[in-house]
Structure 1
Amino acid sequence: MAIKSFKRYEKKFLLGKEHYNNLIPRLLEYMNPDAHCKSGKNYSIYNIYYDTDNNDVIRHSIAKPYYKEKLRLRSYNIPSNPTDKVFLELKKKINGIVNKRRVVLTLEEAYKFLEFGKKPISDDYVNSQVINEIEYYLSKKPVVPKVYIGYTRKAFFGKEDKDFRLTFDSKIITRRGNLSLEAGCFGENILEEDQYLMEVKILGAMPLWFTNILSELEIYNTHFSKYGNEYMRYSSDKQKYNDMREIKRIC
């Protein structure tokens, strides 16, 4: 097992193709592509988000509370074996500051933990601490696999400040059935064609050169949550379906 911990601010921007094409060359003056994005390549991220039967986690999250947290199972490849490595992540947001704690497990360990409460064994104190945090989360929230979200990502980090990161996510695919990472990436795209979600990940203030570029290109931040937008779309479609059933019943 291995653990990583992140604490940072995140700003989000929705870009069309023109903004994206104009921005990338400017970024390369100050940033380098992530090691997984050499030669212009993207990498893929696959997630299963966990929530209650009543969607309490995401409903609380989209209300923009002071504190929120969510649990997800993440992979950077489509698993094909129980021993394949996956990330179990507990993501917290407190007054705008994101804190992400995660532990690397085998797919089998993760499923046994999430479905049956069997804790993974670790001799490492910090790993054990994160596992205990997740165990506590599971004890107070009866969560189940709720939604799949997969996407492709292009990432950059600052040449001078490697803690300054930018990611561009596209082809954000979601589904509410067949909720296993092994099933692969298929479902509905929640972004428009040629649209990108840019996330700025910072420990403090954004670099002046970056804010100047955003101003010149007239790029403005927005509020966008992958899971939140998926849920609002799902709720809207569900309401439309119920309305149609009610109309047919009356008629």
Structure 2
Amino acid sequence: MNKALIVATFTFLLFSCKGTKTTTSNAEDLALKNIVSSHDAAMPDFNTLAARMYVVYEDDKKQQGITVSLRMEKDKIIWMKASILGITLAKAKITPTRVSYYETVGNTYFDGDFSLLSDWLGTEIDFKKAQAILLGQSIFPIENGQYTSNVQGDKYKLQPKTQPYNFIHSLLMLSNNFRIASETLSQPSDERILTIMYDDYQTIEGSLYPTQINVMASEKDSKTTINLTYRKIEPNVSINFPFTIPDGYSEIQL
């Protein structure tokens, strides 16, 4: 399986505005504290989750669609299986300390830390960030005193008060439910930008889950888009996480 399909498998694994209103410093700190606590409280409440997604990957050369089965044990395991027409193309099992993956077309596998996945996605990623993308939460912790907030139409715009060199992070949060509308990471010196957008949210057993996740990544003249559509989400069901790397597969070397 080529890199395009690998990235699509991991993509868990990135408006109209009515003008900006800026609050005073003290009021802004209080408003941000309320926004952050409301965002944290909006995290879907489940122990286990089974879902099915349709993932469409498109770059400058091709477009490809795959079906992805997703299983999660919250904060512990993310398991994914990619297939086309019922044929398994790849499996992945991700824990807070390990990424295990194999694909059947090229007979290759990876079993190690998050360095390979971070390299493919162009930014550092770990288990919490991968889980956050899938659930519509902020990739980075929003810490009081370190972020600013202002109102843009029906959304809150949040960004760090001080951005690291060559790394800009910002996000838009829906004011009615405190879920992420979009999140952007950019590295201007490298002409690289990653944007993750959430079209809508659906209520399942009292919690809000994303309906569709759109990821757009560009680097200089190259552009990639990945669209994930949740077709079914079942919280708190009995699941397992079968994963065994087949014999004879070659290890992917970094």
Query: Normalised by the size of structure 2, how large is the TM-score?
Result: 0.26
Higher relative contact order (Cα pairs below 8 Å, separated by 6+ residues): 1
Richer in strand (by share): 2
Structure that is richer in helix per residue = 1
